[in-house]
């Protein structure tokens, strides 16, 4: 099945690209530039497309950044340290981001003759992000079937929607994903900071998956303290 993958350059979506290249016919990677701080993430998405031998489409969404304001990913709000908690995650949201990215992905799929659009939304994001839940992805797929009725048969693939990030690490490792060539940190420094929500979550996922983490962290031990503070070991 000819499949377009929405790929940010993060651990989840680069793993999805590798899995899709092995199990389906990967046609292209599509990435979005909202004027985020971590442009580095986009570079890793492009590197994945070169590695996998497919076109890379970077969609420039900076024009709507000013209107979609209020997000830590695009504005000058400090990114909070520590494991995700509800309030800290809320400020990292670009409003309605998944609906926007997926609808553009489906438009590209129509134009290019793809049969599926795949996204790496996963179970770990359910608590905070409604647009990562199965109720959303099912409703989105139904909406697209109505929108393209008679024009195209394109399905939404969400293989991780019921999985944890640790399970993504396990599957990604099985399909040879070079995890060092993926980017999670919200702070966008030279190396992963090791302290922000996504760094802690990334570190924890490797730990739970029992997979060696090749990532260089500026503060490699912070995550254990953060977990301890949550009452975990």
Tell me which residues touch a second copy (CB under 8 A). Answer: 57, 59-61, 63-64, 67-70, 94-100, 102-104, 106-108, 110-112, 130-131, 133, 135-136, 138-140, 142-152
3-state secondary structure of 24: coil
- Minimum CB distance to a second copy smaller for 15 or for 74: 74
What CA–CA distance (Å, rounded) separates 160 from 156?
12
132 annotated as a binding-site residue: no
7 annotated as a binding-site residue: yes
Count of residues making up the chain: 233
Within 13 A of 47's CA, how many CA atoms are on the CB side? 17
Q: How far is the CB of 106 from a second copy (least distance, A)?
A: 5
184 annotated as a binding-site residue: no
What CA–CA distance (Å, rounded) separates 186 from 80?
9
Q: How far is the CB of 71 from a second copy (least distance, A)?
A: 8
Contact between 157 and 147 under an 8 Å Cβ cutoff? The reply is no
Task: Mark residue 113 as left, alpha or beta (left: phi above 0; alpha: psi -120 to 50; beta: remaining).
Answer: left
Q: How far is the CB of 15 from a second copy (least distance, A)?
A: 24
- Minimum CB distance to a second copy smaller for 138 or for 174: 138
Annotated binding site for Zn(2+): 185, 193, 196, 199
Q: Which residues are annotated as a binding site for ATP?
A: 7-17
């Amino acid at each position: 099945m000819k499949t377009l993958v929405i790929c940010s350059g993060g651990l989840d979506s680069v793993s999805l690209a590798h899995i899709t290249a092995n199990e389906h016919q990967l046609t292209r990677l599509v990435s979005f530039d909202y004027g985020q701080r971590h442009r580095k993430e986009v570079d890793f998405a492009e590197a994945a497309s070169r590695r996998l031998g497919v076109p890379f489409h970077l969609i420039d969404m900076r024009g709507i950044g000013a209107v979609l304001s209020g997000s830590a990913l695009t504005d000058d709000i400090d990114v909070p340290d520590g494991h995700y908690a509800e309030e800290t995650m809320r400020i990292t949201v670009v409003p309605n981001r998944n609906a926007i990215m997926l609808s553009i992905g489906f438009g590209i799929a129509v134009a290019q003759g793809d049969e599926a659009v795949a996204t790496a939304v996963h179970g770990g994001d359910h608590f905070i992000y409604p647009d990562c839940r199965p109720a959303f992805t099912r409703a989105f797929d139904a909406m697209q079937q109505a929108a393209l009725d008679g024009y195209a048969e394109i399905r939404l693939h969400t293989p991780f929607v019921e999985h944890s990030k640790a399970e993504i690490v396990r599957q990604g490792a099985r399909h040879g994903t070079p995890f060092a060539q993926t980017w999670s940190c919200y702070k966008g420094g030279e190396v992963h900071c090791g302290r922000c929500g996504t760094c802690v979550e990334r570190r924890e996922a490797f730990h739970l998956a029992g997979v060696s983490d090749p990532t260089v962290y500026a503060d490699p031990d912070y995550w254990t303290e953060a977990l301890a503070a949550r009452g975990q070991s």
